[in-house]
Amino acid sequence: MRGQWSLLLGPARLCLRLLLLLGSRRRCPPLLRGLVQRWRYGKVCLRSLFYNSFGGSDTAVDAAFEPIYWLVDNMIRWCGVGRNDIATVSICKKCIYPKPARTHHCSICNRCVLKMDHHCPWLNNCVGHYNHRYFFSFCFFMTLGCVYCSYGSWDLFREAYAAIETYHQTPPPTFSFRERVTHKSLVYLWFLCSSVALALGALTIWHAVLISRGETSIERHINRKERRRLQAKGRVFRNHYNYGCLDNWKLFLGVDTGRHWLTRVLLPSSHLPHGNGMSWDPPPWVTAHSASVMAV
Ligand SMILES: [Zn+2]
Ligand SMILES: [Zn+2]
């Protein structure tokens, strides 16, 4: 009996592989392509029910509800709500809505944020596609301002600090109330500026490293996990949004020509970032440059 089954299974597998091969070709009937896509999606769903390297009971529940998400997603599309050509990578489990690449759900803002970096508690807002540059510029120029202030008031700070140290000497110094307030304010100013320069400087450097790598704070965790997972399999991870350090910066700051370093970086500018945050095609100059590097 088992021999008969294996005789049937062999040709069936061959047929299935042939169908999958035909379905992945560009010039294939839409019906076949649709069937192949459904088959692959079903396979992923079924596998995710039994195994998921990211583990956890939440993942198991999410995987179990995957067919419902699929149903809701298709119903939304059939009803014509949110009909568009945006390539989505998954469905947000909270919004129950298709989610483009690099988009993440912020539990504090309670909505999906395009190219989400992090939720900033100081700004009480999410840092994402449209305000990432403003956030970085704010951190960078604020750090520069604090360093300038700390460095410029170093002599004043030393004098004020030395004066405060004499307050409890006998006989007591003859400083007026106004002079004492000035001394304490100067010391307070210097400590505040120096601490902000250190803390914000560290944050700015960290974000500069991430921007140079072409990843966001969230993607850093995801990519690190993925890098380790692929490394264990002897494969190499490649970040598709990393176009090289200089191009990453030019893309992030919106520098298309040499003049933009002055008008868009050093001077305040309200230009919009490249792309709409939903599809991630780099500008032509990045593609051309990357292609030439690949050719070399
Ligand atoms: Zn969401
Ligand atoms: Zn948020």
Q: What was the pLDDT predicted at 81?
A: 53
pLDDT band at 240 (very low <50, low <70, confident <90, very high): confident
Ion ligand 2: residues, CB < 5 A: 106, 108-109, 119, 126
DSSP states along 188-217: HHHHHHHHHHHHHHHHHHHHHHHHHHT--H
Sign of CA dihedral 201, 204, 210, 212: negative
Ligand 1 geometric centre to CA of 206 (Å): 27
Tokens linked to 49: 């029910």
| 141 and 223 both lie in a single domain | yes
Structural domain range at position 230: 131-281
Q: What was the pLDDT predicted at 51?
A: 63
113 vs 79, more confident: 113
Q: What was the pLDDT predicted at 138?
A: 95
| 121 and 249 both lie in a single domain | no
pLDDT band at 31 (very low <50, low <70, confident <90, very high): confident
Please compute the mean of the pLDDT values over residues 246-274 and round it to a whole number: 92
pLDDT band at 62 (very low <50, low <70, confident <90, very high): confident
Please compute the mean of the pLDDT values over residues 120-145 and round it to a whole number: 94
267-282 confidence digits (pLDDT tens): 999 999 988 888 888 8
- Kind plus residue range of the DSSP H or E element containing 91: strand 88-92
Q: What was the pLDDT predicted at 207?
A: 97
- The answer to whether 79 is a known catalytic residue is no
pLDDT above 70 as % of the chain: 85
| 68 and 115 both lie in a single domain | yes
| 220 and 262 both lie in a single domain | yes
Answer yes or no: is pLDDT of 153 > 80: yes
Rg (CA), the chain: 29
Ligand 1 geometric centre to CA of 92 (Å): 5
State the catalytic residue, choosing from 28, 45, 106, 120: 120
Average pLDDT over all residues of the chain? 84
Q: What was the pLDDT predicted at 201?
A: 97
pLDDT band at 95 (very low <50, low <70, confident <90, very high): confident
| 226 and 86 both lie in a single domain | no
Q: Return the ligand number nearest the Cα of 104.
A: 1
Ligand 1 geometric centre to CA of 270 (Å): 27
Please compute the mean of the pLDDT values over residues 67-87 and round it to a whole number: 67
173-206 confidence digits (pLDDT tens): 888 999 999 999 999 999 999 999 999 999 999 9
| 146 and 117 both lie in a single domain | no
Ligand 1 geometric centre to CA of 97 (Å): 7
* Whether the Cβ atoms of residue 139 and residue 200 lie closer than 8 Å to each other: yes
32 vs 222, more confident: 222
Q: Largest Cα–Cα distance in the chain?
A: 110
Ligand 2 geometric centre to CA of 93 (Å): 16
Please compute the mean of the pLDDT values over residues 40-57 and round it to a whole number: 73
Ligand 1 geometric centre to CA of 47 (Å): 24
Q: What was the pLDDT predicted at 4?
A: 63
Which of these three, 127, 156, 177, is where a domain ends? 127
Ligand 1 geometric centre to CA of 9 (Å): 43
Report if residue 295 sits inside a domain.
Answer: no
Task: Of 192, 134, 185, give the one whose Cα is nearest residue 160.
Answer: 185
pLDDT band at 295 (very low <50, low <70, confident <90, very high): very low
How many domains does the chain fold into? 2
Which of these three, 70, 102, 127, is where a domain ends? 127
- Kind plus residue range of the DSSP H or E element containing 105: strand 104-106
Q: Return the ligand number nearest the Cα of 95.
A: 1
Report if residue 149 sits inside a domain.
Answer: yes
* Whether the Cβ atoms of residue 199 and residue 192 lie closer than 8 Å to each other: no
Answer yes or no: is pLDDT of 142 > 90: yes
Ligand 2 geometric centre to CA of 136 (Å): 17
- Gap between the Cα atoms of 214 and 250, Å rounded: 11
Q: Return the ligand number nearest the Cα of 120.
A: 2
Task: Of 43, 102, 72, give the one whose Cα is nearest residue 51.
Answer: 43
53 vs 142, more confident: 142
Q: Return the ligand number nearest the Cα of 117.
A: 2
- Gap between the Cα atoms of 214 and 208, Å rounded: 10
Please compute the mean of the pLDDT values over residues 8-34 and round it to a whole number: 77
76 vs 32, more confident: 32
Answer yes or no: is pLDDT of 284 > 60: yes
| 135 and 187 both lie in a single domain | yes
| 118 and 143 both lie in a single domain | no
Q: Return the ligand number nearest the Cα of 98.
A: 1
Task: Of 117, 134, 137, give the one whose Cα is nearest residue 126.
Answer: 117
Report if residue 52 sits inside a domain.
Answer: no
Buried b (16+ CB within 10 A) or exposed e, 207-236: beebbebbbbeebbeebeeeeeeeeeeeee
